[in-house]
Structure formats: C-alpha cells, structure tokens
Structure 1
Amino acid sequence: MVQIMRLCGFAVSTLLACGLVGLCHAKMPVSDKSIDERAFELSKLRQSSTDGVIEFSSAQFDKYTSGRRRSYQLVVFLNARHLQDKPQLHLRELREDYGFMAKAHRDRFKGSESEGKLFFTEINFEKSTQDVFRRLNAQSLFIFRLPATLNVSPGENIKLKDQDMLKPETFAKSPIEVNDMVSFVREKTGIDIGKVDKPTIFQAWWFPFAALSFLSSILYIAYKVFYADFMKNMVFYALATLFVYWFSVSGGMHNIIRGMPMVTIDPNSKAPRYFMPGQGQLGTEGFVMGSLYTSVGLAFALVVYIAPKAKSASTQRIIAYFGLFTAFICVQQVIGVYTWKTGYHWRKYI
C-alpha cells in the first residue's frame, strides 16, 4: 500500500514538473532567427539603411527571393542612377518618395509583429544586375510586389502579375505620388503604412531664423528705396507708367497665364516664326504690337505737349509733322498685321 502511494506521488510530481517546464517554455520569446534567418538578416539591413530601403545586389536578390514560400513580402523599386538626371522620367522624385514611405513603415512598425512581414528594397540597373532585370522581363523602370507565396528559382525567369506592378504609365499624372505608393502597398500587402509626412523647408530648425532675416532685409531695403532721391523724380514715375501701359497692351499677363511661347518653329522650313496667322498670338507678336500702340501714344504726346513749347514756328512744325508721320506709320503697321491675320481689309475715307 505504501509503495502504491509512493508511486502515485512520484507520478503527480512528474506531471507537475512537466507542466511547469512547458509553461515556462511557452512564455519564452522565440528568436527571429528561429522563425526565418533571412527575415532577421533583412531587418538588420533595413536598420543600417538611412531611409529604410535595402539596396540589393544580384546575389542578394537571389538569396532573399528564392524559395517556394517566404515569411515576408518584398516591394522592389527598379531604379537606374544614370537616368536620374532626365527630368521627364522623374526618377529622383520617385526614389525620394519611395524612401519616405519605407522610413514611415520602419518607424511605425518597429518592435511589432508586422516589422518582419514587409521589406522595401531597390535594384539599380548596372552591369552586375542586368541578369535580374532580364529575369523580370523589365522593359521599363517600375515598382512591384513579390508575394510571399510566389515560387522563385535562382536564375529562372520571374513571372509577375500585372496587378502586382506599379508602373508610371498607369497613372494620368506624372510622377507617381507617395500616396499612390502607399495605396498600392496597402491594397497588395494588407499593411497600412498610414500618412507619410514629407519633410519640407518649413520644418527645418533654421527656417524661423532665415525667415526673420529675410523679412528684416526686405523692410530695410524698402525703407532705403522709399527715401531715395530717385523716388522724388517725376521722370521715374513717367517711365514706370509707360512700362505698365506697354506691358498691359502687349498682353504680358496673357502670356504669363496662358504660358504663350515667344517664338515657334515652322514645321516645314524649320525657321523661327514670330507671328502666327489666324487668331492666335505669340509672345513676340504681342510685344511688337504693344510697342506700336505705345509709339502712337508717344507721337501724339509729342504733338500736343512738346511741339507747342518750341520757340520757333519752324521747329514746332518739324516736331508736329514728325509726330504725325510716326503715328501714321505705326497705325499702318497695325492695320497690315490685322489684315494679314484676319483677311479683312480696311477702307480709307478722306
């Protein structure tokens, strides 16, 4: 009987000990390495990156993409540094926005379970990475998602679905904005990065001091200009008035608002064209016509105000005839341009 009781006590003690060991083991944190060695390495590479984007070499791309399944997803930006200076591609702006998105993801999910589920990477087109672009059948530069379930074999072609690619030509506006990238990642990966704050000059620590210095300089310059001697000279105001009138009748604001070019190239002769037939008007044509209008006004001012102040009658007649002749020539030029553009001829009645 005693032996039976001893055996029962030993069994109960063993079960309790096993339960405590299992409970302690369940509470022990599982290391990242035991989950996925490659995810742990990618996390280290991301932390060492300035903006959270991991730049892959050809060997690294094979290492972190190969396999039937992965515990993480990859968003890859196909880049080309030698093309970043071409403004029509907007590569520099795209890369900056991509880095802002990657940094926002890294900061938001740092220390959480989703930290190792998504990584932002890039591959630059170089001689050593041409094989990767060939395997992706990349005819252009774009952003794509590599699903965790996509089977990738080293050296073999990778077939991406159209819905997993974010190409600039799919958007009406260019370049692709950072909000478009965030929406693409949220839709394809299920991870919401949230709002991405792009740093601006107004957030810089030195901006208040620079703004204060600029405003102080403007006030000082305005004070000096207002009390300068030339501000008391009526000739300055007369010239300023003439400039405003000339700029207005020349269609200066029209050129600015509509973005009218000063000159175009004739498609047949390849020669520059300053006047446009029909109802259109180039910038040069507007300023030429405005100069003619201003010349007519100055010619009549010469006849009305300057000629009477001459001492001799002959001098008065010379100034008056010169003013009338100048006005007549300018009006004839305006009428000639109007007739050429519209086809209507003016009738003269004497």
Structure 2
Amino acid sequence: MATAGKLNHLVLFTAIFTLFVATATADSGSDLVTELLTLQSQSKSGIIHLNDHLISRFLTSTKTPRPYSILIFFDAQQLHDKTELHLQEIRTEFTLVASSFIANNNDGDDDSVSRGKLFFCDIEFRESQSSFALFGVNALPHIRLVGPDAKSLRDDSIQMDQGDIARQAESMAEFVESRTKLKVGPIRRPPILSNKQLGLIAVILLIWSPFAAKKIFAGETLLHDPKIWLLGAVFVYFFSVSGAMHNIIRKMPMFLADRNDPDKLIFFYQGSGMQLGAEGFAVGFLYTVVGLLLALVTHVLVRVKNVMAQRVTMIIALLVSFWAVNKVVYLDNWKTGYGVHGFWPSSWNW
C-alpha cells in the first residue's frame, strides 16, 4: 500500500510539473509575440528591423515550435546604387505585402486568425554579418521564411524564388499564403496621384482646353500628321509583340545579376516561368523588323519601276526575315524546350 501511495504521488508530481513547464513555455511564447507586436507597432511600415541580438532573441534561442513565422528581407545599403539588383524596388513591394497583411488582419480584433502569427522583418548586412552567415546568404536580393518548426536557419527556412521576388507584391503574397497557410488579403497600394494633384491637373486642363479646341478645329495638331500615325502604329505593334504590358503589370526587371558571379548580368532567363524585359524587347525587335520589311515590300517596293532594284530588295528582305524568324524559333526552343516545325514541308526533309 505504501508503494502504491508513493507511485500515486510520483504520478501526480509528474503531471503537475509537466503542466507547469507547458504553462511556462506558453507564457514565454506569448511574451515573444507581444514583444514582436510592440516592435511592429513602432515601425511606420510594419517591418521589424532585426539585428544579431534580435535574431537570437526570436529565432535561435527559442524552442520550437514557435507560435509565429518570420519573413525576412535581406538588405545591404552599399548595394543600393546597383540598379540591376532592384533592391529598393523589391523592398517597396515587400513593404506593401507587410502593410497589407497587417491592415487586413488587424482591424482592431485581437482574436484575428492571422494576428501575431506572421511578422515581416528586414536585416542589414553591415549591422548583422553573422546573421547573414547563419542563413547562408551570399547574394541579393534574398527573402527567406522562417517557420515555427525551423531549427536550423540555413537548412530549415524557406527561400523565396527569384521569380516571386522579381515580380510584384501579389506574387510575394501568394508565396506567403502557400507556405504559411495564412491569408494576406488584397494588396493595398497607395493612389498614384493625391487629391491635390488631381485638382491641379483638372484646373490646368480647364485653362488649356480652349486653346486645344482652336488647334483641333484648325487641323494644326500632331494628330493630323500622317507620319505621327505611322510611327504610332509601329510603336503599338512593338509594344504588343515585345511583352511590354507584361513587364509593366508584373514589374519585371530588364535583367538580373548572376548569383554565381555578381558582376555578370543575365538578359535571357532559361525557363518558361519567367520572362525578363530584355528578352521580350529582343524578340519584339525581331518581330518588328519582319513587320517593317513586309510593309516595305507590299507598300513601297511595288512602286519602284526598276525591276532589278525590286528583285535585290525582295531577296534581302526575305533573307533578313528568315534570319529574324529563325532567331525567334531558336530562342523559344532554348527557353521552353518545345520544338517548332520547320519552315518547309516535311516532304522536303532529306
């Protein structure tokens, strides 16, 4: 009986101790979340600025699973002048994701599902070189997600793909939602023009409208010049076939820095999931050359009376067009891996 009594006391003590440890751990996690929320509220952008001490405080010194995830933007002030990296533009899109997440999940409701479960942070290279080494970051731009169960910052955290980084905030939000199962919500972009700017533009238009009407009725505007319409048509054609609208909507960079060699630039990205601005313009230029040659042959060359000149010009136009189309097909095959049928009937192949 005495042994049974001691055993019961031991079981009771173990249960109380386990409950105490669990409660202490929960309180510690709650304190960390409260501290992160305080730091978040003190930042105008909602992005918490980390350093080596805070990395240790919220990540390396805490037990897993943590009650939160942290998305970190790695920055380096000395690289802001390298426009090919687009660090400041990417930081702006990262800030939009952070502010939108906070606004969409912090409408004064302390019981919000996503509140306190994801924090957006940045870290600067010169201030926190040891933390960069912990993550294994050796090239920028770089964004990494540290989940609740991540023990090794290098191996267990998730790096955002360069394609998601290079594109707009919406792509970053999709990455966050797919990895954390938390809802970011719609991206809240500030208006391009303020109310004062819109009012000033309206006043200028009202003042200028009588003079514009006089020019229009007199037929003295640029819109009455056929050459302007010709140049406009060529521009619209190039704009359409070069993917310029895709670049504007997605804010695609013209080129990227090679991760293995920062001094080397990448103008053509191999893979169908991403298209850089330079490769779109290159293909658009080839299409435009073919279109202009076709217009030359059908509208100008037919008016030339010299037969020899017609033939020589026609041959040159065909050769250049064949070269341009061949380059487009080659680039498409290199980028996507899909083959394209030849330019002649299959029965001609030997």
TM-score by length of 2: 0.54
User: Are the equivalent residues in 2 in contact too, given 1:46–1:52 (CA < 8 A)?
Assistant: yes
C-alpha change, 1:284 and 1:127, in structure 2 (3 Å) is farther
Alpha carbons 1:102, 1:120 under 8 Å: kept:
yes
Alpha-carbon separation, structure 2, partners of 1:215 and 1:78: 45
Counterpart check, 1:258 vs 2:238: yes
Mapping 1:59-208, distance limit 5 Å: 59-66=53-60, 67-69=62-64, 70-107=66-103, 108-109=105-106, 110-113=108-111, 114-124=114-124, 126-140=125-139, 141-151=141-151, 158-161=154-157, 164-169=158-163, 171=164, 175-202=166-193, 204-208=194-198
Give the partner amino acid of 2:54: Q
Q: Is there any run of 5+ residues in structure 1 with no aligned partner, and where? A: 1-31, 262-277, 298-326, 344-350
8 A contact 1:78–1:142 mirrored in 2: yes
**For the Cα contact (< 8 Å) 2:238–2:288, is it kept in 1?**
no
- Distance in 2 (CA, whole Å) between partners of 1:120 and 1:95 is 11
Structure 2 distance, partners of 1:197, 1:45, is 22
Give the Å deviation of 1:120.
0.9
CA contact (8 A) 1:54 1:120 kept: yes
What is the aligned partner in structure 2 of residue 264 from structure 1? none
Question: Is the CA contact 2:71–2:143 (under 8 Å) kept in the aligned structure 1?
Answer: yes
Query: Aligned equivalents of 1:283 and 1:129: distance in 2?
Result: 54
Partners of 2:146 and 2:287 lie apart in 1 by 55
Distance 1:146 1:90 in 2: 23
| SS in structure 2 of the partner of residue 127 of structure 1 | coil
- Distance, in Å, in 1 between the alignment partners of 2:77 and 2:294 is 43
Could you tell me which residue of structure 2 aligns to residue 281 of structure 1?
Answer: 289
Equivalent positions of 1:298-317 (< 5 A) are: none
Aligned counterpart, 1:210: 200
What's the CA shift string for 1:201-227, capped at 9, x where partnerless? 25x222440341243144133134357
RMSD: 4.3
What residue in structure 2 maps to residue 37 of structure 1?
Answer: 31
Alignment of 1:337 with 2:333, yes or no, is: no
Deviations 1:214-258 (A, max 9, x none): 43144133134357xxx48xxx79x997x516964xx76235412
Q: Which residue is 2:20 aligned to?
A: none
- Supply the distance in 1 between the matched residues of 2:109 and 2:287 (Cα, whole angstroms): 66
Matched letter for residue 112 of structure 1 = D
Q: Which one-letter code corresponds to 2:181 in the other structure? A: G
| Alignment check: 8 A CA contact 1:98 1:178 kept | yes
TM-aligned CA deviation for residue 328 of structure 1: 7.0
Structure 1 residues 255 and 215, CA gap change in structure 2 (3 angstroms): closer
Greater RCO (Cα-Cα under 8 Å, separation 6 or more): 2
Give the counterpart of 1:244 among 179, 204, 226: 226
Quote how far apart the aligned CAs of 1:137 are: 1.5
Q: Which of 1 and 2 has greater Rg?
A: 1
Larger deviation, residues 190-199 vs 89-98: 89-98
SS of equivalent residue, structure 1 residue 116: coil
- Using the TM superposition, give the Cα deviation of residue 54 of structure 1 relative to its aligned residue in structure 2, in angstroms: 0.8
Which one-letter code corresponds to 1:59 in the other structure? H
CA contact (8 A) 1:104 1:196 kept: yes
**Aligned length, in residue pairs:** 242
Q: What's the TM-score, normalizing by structure 1?
A: 0.54
1:8-27 alignment, distance < 5 Å = none
Cα distance, 1:281–1:224 mapped onto 2, change above 3 Å: same
